[in-house]
Amino acid sequence: MTNIISIDPSKNSIGIYVRQEIGEEMIGTIVNDFKTERESILNIENKLAEYLDLYNISICLIEDYPYHMKNSKSLTILAEIKGLIKFLVLKRNIKIIYIPISIWKSFSKITEKKKDTKKAKNNYINQAKLNYKKDFKSTDEVDAFLMFYTVCMLKKGIIKSNSQLNLRKQIDKYL
């Protein structure tokens, strides 16, 4: 059975989209608003482990690193969070497919590109709700879903570039 989790990691919240082979789906966010690093790490570990086990995940889609990111502190924190995610996933023998940001954005039907103000975030979420008919509550949930959507488009043979073709080849190894 192929149950897929798609993860959009970030420092403050982690977007989750789960699609089970039977067609059931779950959309959620792991909010990370704890005061200490220890509490934050344990929160991510506990919630993500719960999702992985509850839904019997066999494939994990995770957003690839934003190589354009200039802030080294933010990149370091993101790397630590991704390291924890990878540990939890690989410990369960779950296959990982990295989805480059530029590829999933190329399949997005959302015209609002910025997410730096409350208004822009709301526009982003509302466009996603309208286009994909899902009840998203955060931009992180939208982004997690869009990675899954991208995999579906690539599996249908909608390929516009060599990087998309290379990703499709990686996807075909597991799906």
Angle between helical axes of 37-54 and 72-91 (0-180°, round to 10):
40
Residue 29 CA from chain centroid, whole number:
10
Q: H or E stretch including 4?
A: strand 4-8
pLDDT of residue 135: 95
pTM of the model: 0.93
Structural domains present in the chain? 4-174 (3.30.420.10)
pLDDT of residue 1: 56
99: alpha, beta or left, given left = phi > 0 and alpha = psi -120 to 50? beta
pLDDT of residue 150: 96
d(CA 153, CA 101): 15
pLDDT along the chain (175 residues), means of 10: 90 93 93 87 94 97 74 77 94 96 92 84 95 95 97 95 95 92
d(CA 90, CA 96): 8
Query: Amino acid identity, residue 93?
Result: N
